[in-house]
Structure 1
Amino acid sequence: MSTFNPSDIGVNNGNIFGFPYNKDAAQIHILPIAWEATASFGRGCAQSYEAIRQASLQLDFYDDKGAFWKTPVYIHEALGEMLNNQAAQKAANLINHLENGGQILDRKEEFDEINALSKALNALVEEHCGKLIKQEKKIIILGGDHSVPFGLIRALSKDQSFGILHFDAHADLRPGYEGFTYSHASIMHHARQLTNVESITSVGLRDISPGEVKIIRNDTHINVYSDKYLANQRLDLRPFSAVIEEILANLPKK
């Protein structure tokens, strides 16, 4: 660390921000997940972690809250790439099949294959996160479609209770979507099934299905601050700090 100059050019050494920390020294571990099989529209998020890593080399490090660059951060090699290579194109073809009027039962074996690969991805992420949790490391999941943090959520839920603060345009509360059990549109559905997940607080929702609205209205452990609600607070000239305090009041201690 003595050779790192935060005012100098970012060095492309494989780590985020060009930081000089290795895996053993790091307090914060970034796990990139190269998975986009259940993405409904557009492709590319499986490789987004690398675009972020490359862009991070262009950042400057001054912050009035302190020298955050002194915090040891390390980005791992991506997980799930082999699974994604098996699943992504097949899943895209299956989504196209449904969008053109096909039925899940027409190609049930193929849907089952994608669901099995999704399950394997969740287990892989859970395994890696579990090891880091035992070492008392902080974990950031980066990249991939919205289904990928479920392995981390499940790993955390094994020995602690907590709430989830969820920033998203969508509720992700569907039991399944487009034939995929572990869809990007289903992660909060699966999270709410875990005993140690005390609550889900979703902020910014603006695109939501009638079925998800019914779930929200019937589950006292789900709190929603929609995009419309936040916009109305601004129109009413309510300080944003007051809105934040309202949201935080619904969160458990952890």
Structure 2
Amino acid sequence: MSLKHKIIEQFDPNGVGAYDSLFGLPFDEETADLIIIPVPWEVTVSYASGTASGPEAIFQASSQVDLFEQDIHDAWKMGIYMLPIPDDLADKSSSFRILARNYINWLEEGSPAISAERFAAVPEIINNACEEMNEWVYEQAKKYRAKGKMVALIGGDHSTPLGLIKALSEEYNSFGVLQIDAHADLRKAYENFEYSHASISYNALKLPQLSKLVQVGIRDYCQSEAITAKENNRITTFYDKDIKENMYEGKAWKVICDDIVGKLPEDVYITIDIDGFDPKLCPNTGTPVAGGFEMEQILYLMKQVVKSGKKIIGFDLVEVAPGVEGDEWDGNVGARILYRMANLFGASQGKLNLK
């Protein structure tokens, strides 16, 4: 009997979580099929902060998530393990965040010439720091992919998954990205930061293997992003306003989901910015926007992706931010999204059976 089977035999999925691990599961990086990379980073956030604490908030709330899934039998047996949160990355994020915030404030004040020399070098410093973060994520993803593991990521802000997407792009000649988000994130070097949280989709599109970007729920974007989305034939955007108008006029969510899934290629990476959901589910996220989706709407869409036969090759969940001390709501919601996405990922990869 393998070590993993012994662990499964000895674990009670109905009991109190006795393990100090993600979802209270008994697995480690050797016995889990899915490795979660936590990235406590939010250097370029341009509104509210807090997303660097997202991985920890999700981890703490995860012990309250029941492991039973009605349509995926024994889902927990696949094994999910979150790597230790890298304190050094969190410290760097805090340090560089101060520098970036001061620079953003200077931009918002009209870039007064009297301070121009003081801030001249900031974009390069921040870009270098963010590039190092992306390289760390890339190396972590490559390491565990080489071991045959499925890999997912929790941010941090939305700049954090680029290294994972890059690592996967080296394994697939062609793949798509399904983006759940309130924002298009198609800005080029927003606020002069090449790896801005508002530039993740722009940066991902630099990868030639990315054949299709399908955006869902977009409702806060600038004119240049709208033009890019319209003129780039690799992008299809399902705007929140259009989705809602179609639903108000009688179009079923199932039909809309079929339309979305139909735009995706066979291999799909999924990036979920929590602000794509209704703000009542993520009130402390960095840039909340009225509108968005219920949790089960998006998880239904993800189930349809799997049922269509398309293969999920990786995913991330970003921009979860805890509130004041004692407020675990955002982490609670994030943990439930993460668990369901992990199991749908496993079903897509043939590790679990989806009814």
Q: How would you bin the TM-score normalised by the shorter chain? A: over 0.9
Q: Is structure 2 residue 62 aligned with structure 1 residue 56?
A: yes
Deviations 1:229-254 (A, max 9, x none): 11012111111111111111110000
Query: Structure 2: how far apart are the matches of 1:105 and 1:190?
Result: 27
Aligned to 2:169: 157
Query: Structure 2: how far apart are the matches of 1:23 and 1:135?
Result: 10
Q: CA deviation at 1:10?
A: 2.0
Deviations 1:37-87 (A, max 9, x none): 011111111111111111111121222112211121100012432431331
- Which residue among 135, 141, 155 is the counterpart of 2:147? 135
The within-5 A match list for 1:215-226 is 215-226=228-239
- Which residue among 4, 18, 33 is the counterpart of 1:27? 33
SS for the counterpart of 2:241 is: helix
Q: Is the 2:155–2:161 Cα contact (8 Å) retained in structure 1?
A: no
Query: Structure 2: how far apart are the matches of 1:41 and 1:95?
Result: 10
Aligned to 1:94: 103
Q: Is structure 2 residue 255 aligned with structure 1 residue 242?
A: yes
Query: Structure 2: how far apart are the matches of 1:172 and 1:101?
Result: 23
Deviations 1:75-119 (A, max 9, x none): 001243243133111111111121222269541212211111011
Query: Structure 2: how far apart are the matches of 1:144 and 1:85?
Result: 12
Q: CA deviation at 1:12?
A: 4.7
Deviations 1:3-29 (A, max 9, x none): 32122122351x210100011111111
Give TM-score, length-normalised by structure 1.
0.95
SS for the counterpart of 1:178 is: helix
**Larger RCO (CA within 8 A; separation ≥ 6):** 2
Report the AA paired with residue 76 of structure 1.
L
Query: Structure 2: how far apart are the matches of 1:125 and 1:105?
Result: 33
Long gaps (5+) in structure 1: none
Aligned to 1:179: 192
Aligned to 2:322: none
Aligned to 1:119: 131
Aligned to 1:85: 94
Long gaps (5+) in structure 2: 1-7, 268-355
Give TM-score, length-normalised by structure 2.
0.69
SS for the counterpart of 1:85 is: helix
Query: Structure 1: how far apart are the matches of 2:11 and 2:246?
Result: 44
Structure 1 runs, 4 residues or longer, greater than 3 Å off: 103-106
Aligned to 1:72: 79
Q: Is the 1:31–1:141 Cα contact (8 Å) retained in structure 2?
A: yes
Aligned to 2:207: 194
Report the AA paired with residue 81 of structure 1.
A
SS for the counterpart of 1:232 is: helix
Pairwise CA RMSD of aligned residues? Answer: 1.5
Q: If each structure's helix is expressed as a fraction of its own residues, which one has the higher value?
A: 2
Query: Structure 2: how far apart are the matches of 1:190 and 1:167?
Result: 16
Give the fraction of aligned pairs with identical amino acids, expressed as a percent: 34
Report the AA paired with residue 26 of structure 2.
P
Number of aligned residues: 253
Query: Structure 1: how far apart are the matches of 2:63 and 2:263?
Result: 37
